[in-house]
Amino acid sequence: MGPLLCLLSAAGFGAMSIFGKFAYDAGVSPSALLLVRFALAALILAGFLAIRPAPRIGARIVVTALALGAVGFATQATLFFEALRVMDASLLSLILYTYPLMVTVAAVLLRRDRMTRNRATALTVASAGTLLVLLGAGTGTIDPVGAALGFGAALTYTVYILVSDRVLRSASPVLLSTLVMTGAAVALAGKSVVTGGVDLGFGAVGWFWVACIAVVSTVLASLTFFAGLRRTGPSTAAILSTVEPVVTTALAAVTLGEFLTPAQLAGGVLVLASVAVVQLRPRRSTVPSRTAIPAPAAIPAADPAPTPTSVVNRRATPDLANPAGSPVDSR
């Protein structure tokens, strides 16, 4: 389920750019879009919690989750949409999708993941596919300010993923998403007060597309991302998220009349292939060591007993929920 949840999340986030284009056409400004998006998402998630309360968590986790939204998610979204105003969308997406490499390298350096052969191969294949998908749409002039904002968004999202992975050990995905959206909404509301307010006078069509962003590309996408991240780990979740630009490109072809080029089709195949590669378990040698003592029949040598979930620094998720083959928690 972990990889599937990550792919569903990528599809939801991939549709956001299409919804955003329609919202802009309906007269919605970027600042209004972000404020309404996070505020509406927080209300929806709070309703879920009212129906099915989550286990209580400590005050420290609450503050951390709120900061994830206020400092992490809100900042990343603001940087991205500000950059989108001054540079080509395909080039900006190319810059943003440097974050899977950032996440993987950071997780390995922090000893929170290990660089397996399959993971390195998947990362390489996914990056090459993403390049083909995005560059196949054509190139534009790179604005220095926009490029800096785009790299800032990628770096912010990298930190956001790594911190979220740690917080998930103590909070349910629904509760964490609620706190993150609330923190983002409060931060953006404060920003709007300081900058003179936000124009919410756009029509019903604009509200419809903003609602689509809030429900499909925020609530559902965030819930499935956190649930998938909890089962796969940060590196695998980041690699699987590279399906997002493929979804965006395909939806743009259908809704905006942007036809896929042969290079984009090839890139999409590579990205989808990386999804299969990242789920492959490394092959184990079937030749027994001459000096090894045979394992008892009841405990196969190739399948060590799962570590108890009560051990410190282990998630409550069993190892079977991590189909990519990486340890549930290497910390």
- Crossing angle (nearest 10°) for helices 117-135 and 262-278: 160
Q: How confident is the model at residue 92 (pLDDT cuts 50, 70, 90)?
A: confident
pLDDT at 135: 73
CB atoms < 10 A from the CB of 52, how many? 8
Tell me which of 150 and 84 has the higher pLDDT. Answer: 150
The distance from CA 319 to its chain's CA centroid, rounded to whole angstroms, is 21
Q: How confident is the model at residue 315 (pLDDT cuts 50, 70, 90)?
A: very low
Locate the domains of the chain by residue range. Answer: 2-282+317-321
Say if residue 289's pLDDT is above 50: no
Say if residue 273's pLDDT is above 70: yes
- On whether the pTM is more than 0.85, the answer is no
pLDDT at 219: 92
pLDDT at 140: 53
Per-residue pLDDT tens over the stretch 7-17: 999 999 888 88
Q: C-alpha angle with apex 203: 198 to 208, nearest 5 degrees? A: 95
Per-residue pLDDT tens over the stretch 249-268: 788 778 877 666 788 778 87
- Which two structure tokens, joined as six digits, stand for 18? 């299409």
Spatial contact of 108 and 234, defined as CB atoms under 8 Å apart: no
What's the first-to-final CA gap in the chain, in angstroms?
23
pLDDT at 326: 33
Say if residue 318's pLDDT is above 90: no
pLDDT at 266: 84
CA dihedral 167, 55, 216, 229 (to 10 degrees): 30
Q: Which of 36-50, 127-141, 211-225 has the lowest mean pLDDT?
A: 127-141
pLDDT at 312: 31
Half-sphere exposure of 27 (CA within 13 A, CB side): 9
Pure H helices in 256-297: 262-278
- In sequence order, which residues have a C-beta less than 8 Å from that of residue 309 and are 6 or more positions away? 315, 316, 317, 318
- In sequence order, which residues have a C-beta less than 8 Å from that of residue 5 and are 6 or more positions away? 224, 225, 227, 228, 231
Spatial contact of 73 and 217, defined as CB atoms under 8 Å apart: no
How confident is the prediction for the chain on average, in pLDDT?
77
